[in-house]
Structure 1
Amino acid sequence: MHEPLDPREDSAAHGPVRLTAWVRGRVQGVGFRWWTRATALEIGGLAGYAGNLADGRVQVVTEGERGDCERLLAWLHGADTPGKVDGVTEIWSEPRGGYAGFEIR
């Protein structure tokens, strides 16, 4: 089993994080936000939102354990999403809190 050389490595890989992702493609008007919320709830332990942007992208902000956020990100990149995803840009940061659940905006 891999032992981290730096104790901070393990907490960074498994601790709480904030993922902000911008999904571009044909992702508005196809149920994308609804399915993103459903997938986040299925994964469990995630809080945040999925919202349409004026330029046609969907912004997804989620907080939770890193592995759970990575599962949602993999789904955003995957072929099972509604519409057509042309690409996803993501930023990882420290969680800020303030979300009671996962909502559609």
Structure 2
Amino acid sequence: MSGVTDTESIRLTAWVHGRVQGVGFRWWTRARALELGLVGSATNLPAGRVEVVAEGSAAACEQLLDTLRSDAAPGEVEHVAEQWSPPKGGLSGFVER
């Protein structure tokens, strides 16, 4: 994530692979994102993955990404792929899907 200041708004899309469905992962992610002041969603995908979309400050998004990869995450996170992009806006709160 080069060229972005910590306070600049950004969009993080993360695909979390592992045993992350049916273990409270989306609820836990929502709680962490709200604590960081982020908006977005956590959505179950086929093949047992969870897609996390978060918008807010670059520093808060980086912190959420680190948290998703931490041992504190529920279930068993095997891998987290990430994509950074400009914010699209139009989001409010943080929802589980």
TM range (shorter): over 0.9
Q: 4+ residue stretches of structure 1 with deviation over 3 A?
A: none
Q: Which runs of 5+ in 1 are unaligned?
A: 1-8
User: 1:5-42 CA deviation, whole Å, 9 max, x = no partner?
Assistant: xxxx4xx1220000000000000000000000001111
1:94 pairs, out of 75, 86, 91, with 86
Shift of 1:54: 1.2
> Which has the higher Rg, Structure 1 or Structure 2?
1
User: 1:32-63 CA deviation, whole Å, 9 max, x = no partner?
Assistant: 0000000111122x100000001210000000
Q: How many residues align?
A: 94
Alignment of 1:39-78 (within 5 A): 39-44=32-37, 46-78=38-70
Report whether the alignment pairs 1:84 with 2:87: no
Other-structure match for 1:38? 31
User: 1:41-99 CA deviation, whole Å, 9 max, x = no partner?
Assistant: 1122x100000001210000000000000010000000000000000000000000111
TM-score calculated relative to the size of structure 1? 0.87
